[in-house]
Copies of this chain bind each other. A is one copy, B any other.
Amino acid sequence: MNAMLHTIEVAGIIAFASSGFIEARRKRMDIVGVFTVAFITAFGGGTLRDLLLDRRPLFWVENQQYPILVFVLALIAMPFLRHLRHAVTESVLEWADALGLGLFSVTGTSLALEAEMPVFICAMMGVITGIFGGVLRDVICNEIPLVFRRSQLYATCAFSGCWVFLFLNWLQASEALSLLAGICTTFALRILAIRFDWKLPA
């Protein structure tokens, strides 16, 4: 279980960092900009969650290998970035991003629950953990955040997955089962939303 979570986490970080790479490149930033935007995209949500819950050390300080991973990726990827959009197909990125969204959201909710937050707050902390990296990426790149624009369900998938986790937890299901169900719900909803172009009313 733990090894699986760890693998998904690394996949999520790589997916989020990649979306940062691509966005930063589109804005013609240099390598420092590319690395910083990737870093903020991958770790922004978890950092805000840790600040709000007053958790120390921050998760990327505890796992120093994560920022180093992003740093090395930025160094390696830089020469290829011009071609990255073509090399990595859009749908690979979307799947990894959906996985990362599920994992970050549901573990965010789980950490908030551990910190004994009230239940509605737990769901919100999950969504914040999942989406805030992307919000910061877009704010820094001077765009209206993608998750707020009218497009296929995104935050809603995370919100649903967090409630599935909270519901199973309340039924006293095992931690592993609840986490897995929440992550799968988020992931499946997001993939379906992209596939069938589900949108919220505006």
Contacts and interface: CB of A to CB of B under 8 A. Distances in A.
A58 interface: yes
B120 A29 contact: no
Contacts of A142: 142-144
A199 B118 contact: no
A36 B148 contact: yes
B139 A140 contact: yes
Nearest to A39: B124
Given A51-B51, A148-B33, A121 B28 contact: no
Report the copy number of this chain in the oligomer. Answer: 3
Nearest to A47: B52
A154 B150 CA distance: 32
A29 B148 contact: yes
Contacts of A113: none
Contacts of A56: 54
Interface in A132-155: 135, 139-145, 147-151, 154-155
A30 B135 contact: no
Interface in A57-72: 57-58, 60-61, 64, 67-68, 71
A140 B145 contact: yes
B32 A148 contact: yes
Given A30-B201, A36-B147, A139-B139, 10 more contacts: A24-B148, A29-B150, A30-B151, A31-B200, A31-B201, A33-B149, A51-B52, A52-B58, A67-B124, A135-B140
Interface of A: 24, 27-33, 36-37, 47, 51-52, 54, 56-58, 60-61, 64, 67-68, 71, 78, 117-118, 120-121, 124, 135, 139-145, 147-151, 154-156, 159, 199-202
